[in-house]
Amino acid sequence: MQTTTRLKEGDIVQVMAGRSKGKSGKILTVNRKSHRLLIEKVNLVKRHVKPNKTNPQGGIIEKEATIHWSSVLVVCGKCAKPVRIKVNVVQGARQRACGKCSQPIGN
């Protein structure tokens, strides 16, 4: 099973499948073991919390839940569209690039 991904923290991605389809956001964390991503303001779920020091009132809070990495595509900075990532070798170093316009992708 594939445990590597071309997605990195800080990439802007768009969700292509599931109930959050069409939403986009920045990747906060990548869990390579479970193949899941935590994306900013995408896949929000409600959780009931007991009162504690950080939340003395308790109640219901909204937080991000993880999403499988096969459900997202990176948004190219130049095309401004969700694209697949290809890898170019430039001077012996691997570099991530847009699959459509071959523009290098950040990080």
pLDDT tens per residue across span 3-55: 678 999 999 999 999 999 999 999 999 999 999 999 999 999 999 999 999 99
Amino acid occupying residue 98: C
DSSP type of residue 76? P
Confirm whether pTM is higher than 0.85. yes
Domain chopping of the chain, boundaries: 12-78
Q: Which among 82, 64, 81 has a CA at the least distance from the CA of 73?
A: 82
Contact 70, 58 (CB under 8 A): no
Question: Which architecture does CATH list for 12-78?
Answer: Roll (2.30)
- C-alpha dihedral (17, 18, 24, 26), degrees to nearest 10: -100
